[in-house]
Structure 1
Amino acid sequence: MTVGKLSRRHFLQGSALVAGGAFVAACAPVAGDTGAAVADEGESMSEEPIELVAQYWGTRPEFIEDREILAQRMTEKFPNVTASQNSVPGGQYGEKVLTAIAAGTPPDTMQLNHRWEPFFRGQEALLNVIPFADADDEFTFDVFYPRIIELGTTEGQLVTVPRGWNPFVIYYNRALFAEAGLDDLPTSWENDTWNWDSFLETAQALTADSDGDGRTDVYGMFFPYWYPFLRLGGGDVLSDDQQSSGLGSPEALAALQWLADLRLTHGVSPTPAEIEGLGSAQDLFTAGRVAMFTAGAWGIGALTRVEGLDWDVGPLPRAAGQPPVGYTQYYGHGIPKGTQSADWSWEYLKIISDEESNITVAQTIGDVPAMRHIAESEHFAGLPKPPTRQVFIDSAPHMQVWPTIAPITEIMSRAITPELNLAFLGEKSVEDAVAAAGPQVDEILAAFWGN
């Protein structure tokens, strides 16, 4: 795939959208090529005191503890190196990193995912980690899921060393299924009987007015994420050449209409008004108000801690005539350009992504480890909850991510999601919402490609 470069205006505009606020500091794109120059060992790997700053988002206690352990491990291996964490709420991440880059003081390592990787890659702000790996006899990418490496590689450049991934699945309440006389969900991604028709039938059987007051008490389904279903239906937000909106394709329109109908026609998914003040999809699920919802593997940790909740997971349902789609969000860490300690940053990335760290991903954080042999071991696949953890792992051959083009966050946040929300609320038809979003997508892409 060809990677263009965000204009300065769109770079700042996109960062503000993601960060949830305005970013006003002057921030010119980082100059230079996108490769990594690995310094001579004697030049960079000295015994002089080194202070590394690792940039993260998320401030949950288990995240902070994990990062403290990683820093301790770095110092244990290299006594002259001190690694500190700079952890900020997710909404502040973009602004924090951009401010540091603008000031000429980038962090030495930074967390990346499906959203931030293309964003910072588009600014040529990240080093290619392949030269570091090629020069390091202790490291190989072969231990990671090949599809993650494939999806993260653009024009021979790889900027993220993966640590974990979050395949999307259907979480379901087994007790509610039993009450409705339903069997557990299939576990195979290739099972074509688990399709959009059977999914709707299942959701209808689960939707109930249990107290007879004329209002729905249990909804069969809640979809906090619409993009996986767009991909399941064979559509995407961009055209194949990434030059224009793809939402107007027959496949995309049909998928979006099917999603809107779940709520507006079939009544199996709640409207925002119907669940106002009741919390997130996960909250509704644990309260027994929603029988199924979609999320990544991050749902495992919180649901496992809910006593008495009988739940499991199944694959995403297939659309008619479409192959299985294992939509996922992977994450890891990269090295920003401008760091004065790139080789030490690489050593830290090796610790952040090693076996011990991957075991932490599985057992403490709850995500699927990026190292295949750890994911398929007792550290993840062998854990008792949910019973069919293999569903997460079996999605790997079907792994897909959202487009890796640099302005994708701006496209999603500014152009598409506001319009589709109106369609899912019934305030616009799907066709009108797509027609309104399309020109905005095309405008962002034209500025990005320089057309």
Structure 2
Amino acid sequence: MKWALGLLFVTAAALWLFTARPEPVPPGVTVLRYMAWGNPEQLAAEQELIDEFTRRHPAIRVKLTLVPGSAYYQKLQVMLASGTAPDVFRCDHYQFPAYAQRGYFLPLDEFVQRDPDFRYADYFDQVIEEGRHAGRFYGVNTLFGARVIYYNKDLFARAGLTDPYVLYRRGEWTVEQFLDAAQRLTVTGHNGIVEQFGVLVHPLEVWTFAWGFGGEILTPDGSRCVADQPGTVQALQFLRDLRHRWHVTPTPAENALSAYTFESGRIAMVFDWAGAAPRYRQHIRNFDWDIVSIPSGPAGRHPMLKGNQLLIYRQTRAPEAAWQFLKFYVSRDAEALLCGRLRRAMTTRRDLAAAEEYLRSDRPPRQNDVWIDQYAIGRPLPITARWSDWQAEWNRAFELLMLNRLSPEEMAREAATRINAILAEEPY
């Protein structure tokens, strides 16, 4: 017992000695707590922005907490519910409407009205609209992006295929051309094992293909699932056929332990967000790559757009300092770093989108005019406060489709029935 008490005393003393204690704050300095998620590269970017903000605003000190993405929303939800949330935090738009509905955010309308340095007109319309809820403006948009195709230029050249960017600029980058490329870029070895697949498809792509085939998954207000309409069923058929009819994308068993990745050169095309570019820059050394918009379908080309909001906690004690930080984070200088030099996202600013410093790059992606096109042709996801209520049901049905256990018609009908039953319930 004495030994245990002694050990407890020593441990407590060690913790007292080595636990970092907050630095004293000089008189007149406001401390802002800011929380976000990200990898080490994002941490470096955040710190660079914070350092520059501090240089411009010496009376404000920003304390950054970077949380792994897998644990972020569990931590944020606890902090919001307990009234201990940071002054400023990032929120993925998937969660934004539900949190806004609960009153967690400070409205920004009054700040905007009296601040001549912030103008809605400086930003693309979709960027501003995504930060609104129930008629109020709550969040500036950061890490905004579109789903595009990253592709291996060397593989296209070796296969004698026209570069998809060239086809895109000619107006010829269609689902037919996309499928032809995926088939010709899928290579099977003498042992019958696929050495290289044409494309890697994520479940999110169902949205852009549904729109491209003239279908919808939800009504515009997100109140009903309409996935059983013909265009959506066609899109589901196309996606299932990519795996089971044409075998141009790997099955889960084939891609166990990530055997096929874009970085390895064993996937010719992959759908991904704008924020994937830094990862590809870091890991790809053996081939040239770039980006192109998604292919057009019978009903046109409709890329998916989505961002993340930077928000002020409603109970913050430093609203003015928090507003200055939000405003700086979406300034031209900040986005020139985050979206231009680091390529972490599409720029949200009209003035930067047309600038050479954003469009030009000495390393991939170089075809950065593609990002700007997405604002003209892209569509936002119809995310509402009920989004998370029905997603599990949709994902379950889609997985059964891609495992060939449900037909497209069965999957669409079953998903619509189950999801509409969920949406008809009173939210809790």
State the TM-score, normalizing by the size of structure 1.
Answer: 0.82
SS at structure 2 position matched to 1:337: coil
Amino acid at match of 1:434: A
Aligned equivalent of 2:312: 335
Pairing partner for 2:374 from 385, 395, 401 = 395
Question: RCO greater where, 1 or 2, for CA within 8 Å and sep 6 or more?
Answer: 1
Superposition deviation, residue 242 in structure 1: 2.7
Amino acid at match of 1:247: A
TM-superposition CA deviations, 1:385-421 (whole Å, max 9, x none): 2232211211111121211211213322x11012101
Superposition deviation, residue 180 in structure 1: 1.6
Distance in 2, Cα, partners of 1:207 & 1:188? 20
- My pick for the range that moved more, 113-122 or 390-399, is 113-122
Aligned length: 397
The aligned runs of 1:93-172 (5 Å cut-off) are 93-172=72-151
TM-superposition CA deviations, 1:217-264 (whole Å, max 9, x none): 111111123233233333333124432212111111111111111111
Distance in 1, Cα, partners of 2:305 & 2:166? 17
Percent sequence identity is: 25
> CA 1:240/1:161 → structure 2, altered by over 3 Å: closer, same or farther?
closer
Unaligned regions of 5+ residues in structure 1, if any?
1-46
SS at structure 1 position matched to 2:239: helix
* 1:67 pairs with 2:46: yes
2:336–2:357 CA contact under 8 A, matched in 1: yes
Unaligned regions of 5+ residues in structure 2, if any?
1-26
* 1:350 pairs with 2:350: no
SS at structure 2 position matched to 1:343: helix
Pairing partner for 1:235 from 196, 212, 215 = 215
> CA 1:308/1:251 → structure 2, altered by over 3 Å: closer, same or farther?
same
Distance in 1, Cα, partners of 2:54 & 2:317? 18
- My pick for the range that moved more, 82-91 or 229-238, is 229-238
Aligned equivalent of 1:220: 198
1:174–1:184 CA contact under 8 A, matched in 2: yes
2:359–2:366 CA contact under 8 A, matched in 1: no
Larger radius of gyration: 2
Aligned equivalent of 2:398: 420
SS at structure 2 position matched to 1:234: coil
Amino acid at match of 1:375: A
Aligned equivalent of 1:11: none
> CA 1:189/1:161 → structure 2, altered by over 3 Å: closer, same or farther?
farther
TM-superposition CA deviations, 1:168-204 (whole Å, max 9, x none): 2111112211222101013576855322122111211
Amino acid at match of 2:267: V
CA RMSD of aligned residues (A): 2.2
Distance in 2, Cα, partners of 1:68 & 1:258? 44
> CA 1:188/1:449 → structure 2, altered by over 3 Å: closer, same or farther?
farther
Aligned equivalent of 1:377: 355
2:261–2:267 CA contact under 8 A, matched in 1: yes
Pairing partner for 1:256 from 236, 242, 246 = 236
Aligned equivalent of 2:425: 447
Aligned equivalent of 1:29: none
1:56–1:87 CA contact under 8 A, matched in 2: yes
> CA 1:238/1:301 → structure 2, altered by over 3 Å: closer, same or farther?
same
Which structure shows the bigger proportion of residues in helix conformation? 2
